[in-house]
Amino acid sequence: MSTAPSLSNQPWEAVAQELGMEVVESRLMCKEEKRVRSILATQKKLYKSEKRKCERAESAKKDAEAEAAQLRATMHNMEQAHEELKKTHVSLDTLEEIVACGICWDICWRPALLRCGHCFCEGCLRNHFQTTYERAFMEYSVLDTVYTCPTCRQAHIVTRAPETCFILKGLAEKVGLLRGREAPPPPVVEEGRGLWWPFF
């Protein structure tokens, strides 16, 4: 029965050379393994980065499609509204009458809405309240003045500050734009005072 030759039976130079080759090969294999792992890690990072880019691009595409669909729906609604407007044949003069102030009969640029439903220019209504306030103070010497709607008169008593009618304001701005006019400056009020001081 033959036995494998032991290292003690081999020349020490051969043994050293063989062991050295194994060490070199082992180191080379470790370096190669590290290089492969580094390449794989880099590729993995690139894959994740490209995946995120694709996801962002897909999300942006969906957002763009949704926005385009919304724009198409808006355009469709505008076209329908335009067709309905053509059917009604509402003239610009009629619209101007609708947005006219009940005091000055000009475009109600800043409509102030009373509880009775009537709208007036902020400046016109403020002047109306100021006249009422001064007349009551001069004639009766009372500060507890009763303010009434210029249209309803005694039918509706004003007990709180008017509110801005934004629907009529937007319509008035469009009528003014069609007429080539710009809104006048707002009423001048004292610094630190509200528009409807001292009435409310």
Both tokens assigned to 100? 């006219």
Question: Are residues 116 and 61 located together in one domain of the fold?
Answer: no
In a domain, 198, yes or no: no
Closest CA to 187 of 137, 113, 102, 130: 130
Predicted local distance difference test score (pLDDT) of residue 1: 46
Q: Give the pLDDT confidence of 87-121 residue by residue, as tens digits.
A: 665 677 778 888 889 898 888 888 988 888 888 99
With 60 as the cut, is the pLDDT of residue 181 above it? yes
Range of the domain at 53: 12-88
- Residue 13: per-residue pLDDT: 56
Do 116 and 52 sit in the same domain of this protein? no
Q: What value does the mean pLDDT take over residues 41-51?
A: 84
Please tell me the predicted confidence (pLDDT) of residue 88. 61
Instruction: Tell me, yes or no, whether 49 lies in a domain.
Output: yes
The domain boundary, picked from 32, 54, 88, lies at 88
**How confident is the model at residue 17, as a pLDDT?**
58
Q: Are residues 136 and 103 in the same domain?
A: yes
* Domain limit, last residue, from 59, 88, 117: 88
How many CB atoms are closer than 10 A to CB 149?
21
Whether 153 is covered by a domain: the verdict is: yes
174 and 102 housed in the same domain: yes
Q: How many CB atoms lie within 10 A of CB 168?
A: 18
Say if 24 falls within a structural domain: yes
Q: Is 149 part of any domain?
A: yes
pLDDT for 25 equals: 64
Residue 71 pLDDT > 70, yes or no?
yes
- The answer to whether residues 65 and 124 belong to one domain is no
Assigned domain for 174 exists: yes
Residue 18 pLDDT:
60
Same domain for 127 and 167? Answer: yes
Residue type, 141: S
> Is 123 found in the same domain as 62?
no
In the prediction, which pLDDT does 2 show?
Answer: 45
Q: State yes or no: pLDDT of 10 exceeds 70.
A: no
- Residue 26 covered by a domain: yes
User: What is the tens place of the pLDDT at every residue in 121-171?
Assistant: 988 988 888 888 888 777 765 566 778 888 887 656 677 788 888 888 888
CATH at residue 172: 3.30.40.10
Beta pairing class for 111-113 and 119-121 = antiparallel
Residue 7 lies in a domain: no
Looking at the structure, tell me whether residues 124 and 78 fall in a common domain: no
Give the number of residues written for the chain: 200
Tokens coding 4: 């494998």
Burial zone of 147 (CB within 10 Å; 0-12 exposed, 13-18 middle, 19+ buried): buried
> How many structural domains comprise the chain?
2
**Final residue belonging to a domain, choices 42, 64, 88:** 88
Do residues 20 and 61 share a domain? yes
pLDDT score at 20: 59
| pLDDT for 11 | 56
Yes or no: say if 162 and 112 are a contact pair by the CB < 8 Å rule: yes
Q: Are residues 60 and 117 in the same domain?
A: no
Largest CA distance in the chain: 142
> 12-29: per-residue pLDDT in tens?
555 555 655 666 666 667
pLDDT given for residue 151 in this prediction: 85
